[in-house]
Amino acid sequence: MEYAIRVAGAGDLAGLAAIENSGDPMFGEIGIVFPPGPTVVEQMIGKGAEILVAGDPPVGFAAVEEVDGAVHLEQISVRGDLVGRGIGARLLDEVKARAAAAGSSGVSLLTFRDVPWNGPWYARHGFAELPEERWGTGIRSYWDAEIKDGLHELGPRLVMWAPLG
């Protein structure tokens, strides 16, 4: 089934946390249990980030904002029962296309280094590790906040970058 990618409308937002949470069992199978609290997408909605969704009603989403003068992908989530069907890749392609159209030099993200559907997946889609000496103040603050929130205790993390154009 084909899921059109579009900007989220107000009516889409309430269901996005359930999509994000539906992926938690996959992480649990490899020993990663996220701490309680608001979901990433709830935090991003609160910050006014741009949210793209796949489908109507949504079955996946991507949350992006500007960090250090470029597009930063904070989260891609696909409903747990639909993982592996290319929905995440289509969302990522749209994020990159929109970033390029807006004149961004690239897309940054932070992710788990060794989780197959995180670091290795993004590497297959044009991302590479961004050396620490190239981090801007915004990326540095994201990294530090992840450490403070205990995310780095769950597994090795890395900053990745996909150049555009």
Range of the domain at 114: 5-163
158: pLDDT strictly greater than 90: yes
Q: What is the pLDDT of residues 104-116, one digit of tens each?
A: 999 999 999 999 9
Residue 106: CATH number of its domain = 3.40.630.30
Residue-averaged pLDDT of the chain: 95
pLDDT grade, residue 142 (50/70/90)? very high
Counted domains in the chain: 1
Cis? peptide before 116, omega within 30° of 0: no
Considering the entire predicted model, what is its pTM? 0.95
Q: Produce one character per residue of 18-41: b if its CB has 16 or more CB atoms within 10 Å, e if not.
A: ebbebbeeebeeeeeebeeeebbb
Q: By the 8 A CB rule, do 23 and 81 touch?
A: no
Terminus-to-terminus CA distance in the chain, angstroms?
Answer: 30
Q: By the 8 A CB rule, do 92 and 78 touch?
A: no
